[in-house]
Amino acid sequence: MIQPIIKTENLCFSYSKSKNDISALDLEVPRGSVYGFLGPNGSGKTTTIRLLLGLLRKQKGSISLFGQPFEENRIDNLARVGALIENPSLYGHLNARENLKIAARYRGGVPKNRIEEVLEIVKLSYVKKKKVKAFSLGMKQRLGLAISLLNKPELLILDEPANGLDPKGIIEMRSLIRELNEQHDTTIFISSHLLSEIEKTCSHVGIIREGKMLFQNTVAALKNSQTGKLVVEIETNDTSSASEIAKELQMNPDIADEQSLNVVINRKDEIPGLIDNLRNRQIAVYQVRIKDNLEELFLSLTEN
């Protein structure tokens, strides 16, 4: 088995004595993966990331990065990590290039042309001399990402990277993540509260709620973990008759609202037969959609 790049065992942390913010968290991020760390707001994603990077002091358990215990190897470990935690840390009174220069000087050993390179990667070259306080949230997010790429990290930790990005920016972020992972062999740890985001980019997923890990495996395993049944939403002009027809076909219908009907089927190829039946009885079909059942799974996992 390949050694995990991030591994925590029985990690515990609480901000106050009354409540455990992170409890007995076992995190395992395989090298070369794109790991989606998924959980609703306030579930402890950022707290976990802060623990991983040594910003918060753990109260119990162990953290190791690159197979070494973090505390004893803090500087060595951090030299191989790039991180973007919550809102990016940027000096508003300085311009984009100056911000990058500062980060590069702290790190040491960053070649000069790397600054232009990362500006190019995040598509900010055109505003490199503009003061950061005039940047939009999405631009700040990109600059924060550029800073985290300066040292060509082996492990990139991104906390809600899609925050503030426009749709185009989100798509670019996705392809950047893919490129870094595939071409530069960067392991990427992304936290998000959006399942769809994780599903599109990640190979592995960990789902956290109230500081506890609920599920951790590959995205494929998450998809397979379901019953195999599909829920199809059908928009018609006559839901009650449609429901009758679905019953005849043994498809467990459930009227969602006046226009739409949820039907449970076993396989995708049952859909055309169902539509044929509806059309034969002169029922109008406006829309048929396979419901994202991962989303339901996520909700069922993260809600009580």
**Which residue, 272, 295, 33, 291, is CA-closest to 156?**
33
Q: Is 278 within 8 Å of 236 (Cβ atoms)? A: yes
Q: Does 214 bind other proteins (CB under 8 A)?
A: no
Q: What's the min distance (Å) between Cβ of 196 and other proteins?
A: 28
Quick check: 103 binds other proteins (CB under 8 A)?
Answer: yes
Rounded (10°) angle between helices 167-183 and 137-149: 10
Position among 12, 24, 79, 297 found at the interface with other proteins (CB under 8 A): 79
Is residue 56 within the footprint of other proteins (CB under 8 A)? yes
**14/260 with CB nearer other proteins:** 14
For residue 93, state whether it binds other proteins (rule: CB under 8 A): yes
The answer to whether 236 and 245 have CB atoms below 8 angstroms apart is no
Of 17, 105, 112, 267, which lies in the binding site for other proteins, with binding defined by CB under 8 A?
Answer: 105
Distance CA 216, CA 141 (A): 28
The one among 16, 75, 250, 276 contacting other proteins by CB under 8 A:
75
Radius of gyration for the alpha carbons in the chain, expressed in angstroms and rounded: 23
Task: Cite the DSSP H helix spans in the chain.
Answer: 45-52, 74-79, 96-107, 113-121, 137-149, 167-183, 195-201, 219-224, 239-248, 270-280, 293-302
The residue (of 155 and 246) whose beta carbon lies closer to other proteins is 155
* Coil vs helix vs strand at 228: coil
Q: Given candidates 147, 177, 195, 207, which one binds other proteins under the rule CB under 8 A? A: 147
Residue 91 makes contact with other proteins by CB under 8 A: yes
CA 214 – CA 10 distance, rounded (Å):
14
Q: What is the nearest approach in angstroms of other proteins to the Cβ of residue 201?
A: 23
**Minimum gap (Å) between residue 151 Cβ and other proteins:** 8
**In the complex, minimum distance from the CB of residue 51 to other proteins, in angstroms, rounded to a whole number:** 10
Chain residues that interact with other proteins, rule: CB under 8 A: 15, 50, 53-57, 75-79, 81, 83, 85-94, 98, 101-103, 105-108, 147
